Amino acid sequence: MTIKDNEKMTSKERVQLTLANQIPDRVPIDYDANPGIDSRLKKHFRLKQDDNDELLKMLGVDFRRIDPPYAGPRLHAQIPGRTVLPEWGIHTRWIEHESGGYWDYCDFPLQEADEEQVAAWPMPSPDDFDYSFLADTLKKYEKLAISVGGAGIADCINSNGMLRGMEQTLVDLITDDPAGLLLMDRRHSVQIGVLQRILDIAKDKICFLMMGEDLGTQYTPMISLELYRKHIRPRHQRFVDLAKAYNLPVMIHTCGSSSWAYEDFIDMGINAVDTLQPEAKNMSPAYLKEHFGGRLAFHGCISTAGPVAFGSVEDVAASVKETLDIMMPGGGYCMSPTHQLQDNSPTENVLAMYEAAHIYGRY
């Protein structure tokens, strides 16, 4: 790895400038990975398997996320052969494949629930989360770009789909089903309560709020813009308004072909977009830079289904450089994989990705 130590800015300063579409000393760098490749990277650097911070330092990652753990009672019973989240009741099962495995959402316990049943579904209180670690963690990461939230915050489709199934969730939006809409609102109320507690403690130590909503397939929108504006945008706006009340920029994670919603994002006050699958329709770096550069900052664009997974080290370096050459001018770009780095990615390719970012990502 080629990482220079004589950097002119802290990570926090670097990311703040980038999210404001200004030019930092270098492109900010982020990381997310499946367990298999994460483990291999730690072995490469001779780290302990739980030494996440040291791995991020070795890769030169500017971002850190804080997420208070649930500390309340188990609200939903465990089930044999399943993992059940104690606070939300989401069911998953482990699915093995040739390069690793993943947790598959299943059972969908609220799939046929009516409004009364959704209203009775046990959910946590914001007081059930543990905020005691925040002061020490905020001090530890004070020079880094700390975010709150995540891809599962404020989202309507994905998280409802985990409990009602994807088909029923989409039907809910089309038919204005009060059960599905209530489920969104109940989850969001808890999430906003948690975020408010974090932000009241953290003050100006937080760099941005992250929220999410998957809106596209590889080729088309998942829902119409009309439906987005009817049901999802007003719910998203609550989270954007919360962030703005604390003078925080907002980044939204959204997979697939989703640039059709970006004008609405800009109008709502969202500052940055994440994922940016370059192979999806109207999501190439050149298209995004041409249509939204200077109005939105970008986080992602390095495909986890491209050279990082299937190319050579040279292919990876060339792909990263090409993306940087397009996205860097004028600022506003954070180098990151589009999704979690997958277990089928060779270790040397992932290392090449981060080394290329440090070599070619300097202004």
Provide the token pair at 72: 């309340």
Split at pLDDT 50, 70, 90, the class of 18 is very high
CA pair distance 276, 21, nearest whole angstrom:
17
Q: What residues have CB less than 8 Å from 20, skipping those under 6 apart?
A: 249, 271, 297
The Cα–Cα gap between 288 and 129 comes to 38
Residue given tokens 């709502």 in the structure block:
268
Convert the pLDDT of each residue in 48-84 to its tens digit.
999 999 999 999 999 999 999 999 999 999 999 999 9
pLDDT digits over 315-328, tens only? 999 999 999 999 99
76: how many CB neighbours lie within 10 A of its CB?
Answer: 17
What is the rounded average pLDDT of the residues 15-26? 97
Contact present, 172 and 223 (Cβ < 8 Å): no
pLDDT cut 90: percent of the chain above it: 95
pLDDT digits over 116-153, tens only?
999 999 999 999 999 999 999 999 999 999 999 999 99
Q: Which pLDDT band, with edges at 50, 70 and 90, does 283 fall under?
A: very high
Nearest-angstrom CA–CA distance, 263 and 270: 10
Residue 62 has a pLDDT of 98
Which pLDDT score, from 0 to 100, does residue 321 have?
98
Counting Cβ atoms within 10 Å, is residue 44 exposed (0-12), middle (13-18) or buried (19+)? Answer: middle
The predicted-structure confidence for 172-228, as pLDDT tens digits, reads as follows: 999 999 999 999 999 999 999 999 999 999 989 999 999 999 999 999 999 999 999
Measured distance CA(61)–CA(279) in Å, rounded: 25
**DSSP-derived pairing of the beta strands 63-65 and 91-97:** unpaired
Predicted confidence band at 7 (pLDDT cuts at 50, 70, 90)? confident
pLDDT value at 2 more than 60: no
> Could you please report the per-residue DSSP string of 285-347?
HHHHHHHHBTTBEEEEEE-TTTHHHHS-HHHHHHHHHHHHHHH-TTS-EEEEESSSBPTTS-H
CATH number 3.40.1190.10 given to 11-75+124-360: no
| pLDDT at residue 276, as a whole number | 95
Are 176 and 218 in contact, with CB atoms under 8 Å apart? no
